[in-house]
Amino acid sequence: RKEVEQDPGPFNVPEGATVAFNCTYSNSASQSFFWYRQDCRKEPKLLMSVYSSGNEDGRFTAQLNRASQYISLLIRDSKLSDSATYLCVASFSGNTGKLIFGQGTTLQVKP
Amino acid sequence: SQTIHQWPATLVQPVGSPLSLECTVEGTSNPNLYWYRQAAGRGLQLLFYSVGIGQISSEVPQNLSASRPQDRQFILSSKKLLLSDSGFYLCAWSEGRTGESNQPQHFGDGTRLSIL
């Protein structure tokens, strides 16, 4: 079983749509969670951190359910520029700073 | 503000040749440093991480090695490259504070390595 599991997609949605990505993690000791965005042939960039019960940043909302070991990312009013691969990330137990990256969910927003 | 520099951006090397990729971080002290590889269409694979000068942890057995000669410098090396070493190599850093929940990592622009 993968330590961080995501549906690879692709998710094809029209502009203006709301889309949600889900992610599960296997290590119950994980304390910190993040969503990264990776454009084609580019480095991953931090989109948002997910702490405690989740947080919101503009059109993006991240939710964390520790009991179910489940993280979600909701994107409202999708833009063409949101097209990318979204990586779900969980921290490794301990304080080495190691993170476990999911393989990513690809989003394609179409006009 | 903190910045991370990684070079070169692309590299084409013959099988059996040596490799040296360098990464430097500015604007922070005692960062945690990481080397990842991403094969085409695949996820990130952690290769090495370092919590301090001279301290290197290897995640997977492989043809590569890493060194941290200075606080903010991380080097990925190989004596003889294999075809399977092709990929997108990414250096990353995070805050090196201990005793706190893990911090996000910040990536360099990456090196696209092709082995011929």
Q: pLDDT tens, B29-87? A: 999 999 999 988 788 999 999 999 999 999 887 889 999 999 999 999 999 999 999 99
Mutate to test the interface with B, among A49, A50, A99 (most CBs of B within 10 A): A99
Asked if A41 has any chain B CB less than 8 Å from its own CB, the reply is yes
Q: What is the pLDDT of residue A91?
A: 87
Report A:52-71 residues touching B (Cβ under 8 A): none
Residue A104: which of B43, B101, B105 has the nearest Cβ?
B43
Residues of B with Cβ-Cβ distance to A44 under 8 angstroms: 44, 90, 107
Q: What is the pLDDT of residue A95?
A: 63
Q: What is the mean pLDDT of chain A?
A: 92
The closest of B73, B33, B65 to A97, measured between CA atoms, is B33
How large is the greatest C-alpha to C-alpha distance in chain B, in angstroms?
45
Residues of A with Cβ-Cβ distance to B106 under 8 angstroms: 46
Q: Tell me the C-alpha distance between A3 and B59, whole Å.
A: 15
Asked if A1 has any chain B CB less than 8 Å from its own CB, the reply is no
The closest of B104, B116, B108 to B38, measured between CA atoms, is B108
Tracing tokens 């922070």 back to the chain, one arrives at: B28
Q: What is the pLDDT of residue A75?
A: 98
Is the N-terminal amide bond of B8 cis, ω within 30° of 0?
yes
Indicate if the pLDDT at residue A44 is higher than 60: yes
Q: What is the pLDDT of residue B66?
A: 97
Q: What is the pLDDT of residue A11?
A: 96
Q: What is the pLDDT of residue B71?
A: 96
Buried b / exposed e over A98-108, threshold 16 CB at 10 Å, is bbbbbbbbbbe
Q: Give me the mean pLDDT over the A80-108 stretch.
A: 90
**Hey, which of A11-20, A30-39, A96-105 has the most confident mean pLDDT?**
A11-20
Identify the band that residue B98 occupies on the pLDDT scale cut at 50, 70 and 90.
low
A96, A89 in Cβ contact below 8 A? no
Asked if A42 has any chain B CB less than 8 Å from its own CB, the reply is yes
Are B43 and A92 a contacting pair at CB < 8 A? no
Q: Give me the torsion for CA of B72, B6, B68, B39, rounded to 10°.
A: 140
CA distance A103 to chain B (A): 4
